[in-house]
Amino acid sequence: MSTPADHHRWRAERFTSVAEPTGHLALIETRWTGTRPDLAAAQAEAGPQVTVTVVERRSPETGETEYGLRVWDADSDAIRAYDRIDTYPFDPDWVLRGRLVPTAPERTSTFPHRGGSRAHPCAGELLVTIGGTEHALAVIDDGDALLLVFADETTGAETYASGRFLRIPPPDADWTVVVDFNRAFVPPCGFSAQYDCPLPPASHRLPLPIRAGEKNVVFVDGFTVAEG
């Protein structure tokens, strides 16, 4: 069971991690190359003030693995303008129990993205009762956790306009999971326009306000992510 102290630690870690040299706010370029790039050459070209890393994804056109480069600047405009992440107070009523209905390992679920859609590895269907109604929500296999992409009645009014993410720990032996909406967070695209995050499909737009977790990233001096 989450506690206010746990929530405080999580908020402090989030505040710091997004502004690290390769944190979300530092990402200034994502360049898809198709084949695996020469990382050493790219780093040498970029110079010592930035960090270059390799990223891979499944191509939205072919389904094949494709590669790219990400460029991180520890002194980016976004880091300079970063003030805080607005967050709702901890509310124990938003720590719920759900159940995972697993799917075949090769199954994917399609999520909208900017300019199209993309298939993501599907870990299963999350069954969780919210506001007296049971919802069935596809969760993405995120390695050591499940990733829920959702929107609710606060989206675009009180919270980030593109929706929020929630990482859910692996299920217990009986497939039950803890769904702690106090850990709902602004996705990476809320910190840098160089991310292309999955967006909530229509079935993940919950018909009630979830006033828990993060709201929005706050910048100073009129900075917006689109300018980063």
Strand partners, 85: 217
Residue 169 lies in a domain: yes
In whole angstroms, give the CA distance from residue 142 to residue 135: 20
Determine the structural domain holding residue 205 and report its residue range.
84-220
Question: 55 and 107: one domain?
Answer: no
Report pLDDT for 45: 92
Structural tokens at position 15: 């505040």
Higher pLDDT, 84 or 112: 84
Question: 91 and 177: one domain?
Answer: yes
pLDDT tens figures, 93-145: 999 999 999 988 778 888 999 878 888 889 999 999 999 999 999 999 998 89
Q: To the nearest whole number, what is the mean pLDDT of the chain?
A: 93
In this predicted structure, the answer to whether residue 228 has a pLDDT above a threshold of 60 is no
- The residue behind tokens 């993060």 is 214
Question: 36 and 78: one domain?
Answer: yes
pLDDT above 90 coverage of the chain, percent: 82
Question: Are residues 151 and 164 in contact, defined by beta-carbon separation less than 8 angstroms?
Answer: yes
Question: 113 and 197: one domain?
Answer: yes
Question: 76 and 96: one domain?
Answer: no
Residue 10 lies in a domain: no
Report pLDDT for 1: 59
Question: 153 and 119: one domain?
Answer: yes
Q: Which residues of 12-27 are buried (b: 16+ CB within 10 A; e: fewer)?
A: eebeeebbeeebbbbb
Residue 19 lies in a domain: no
Residue 210 lies in a domain: yes
Report pLDDT for 58: 79
pTM of the predicted protein model: 0.93
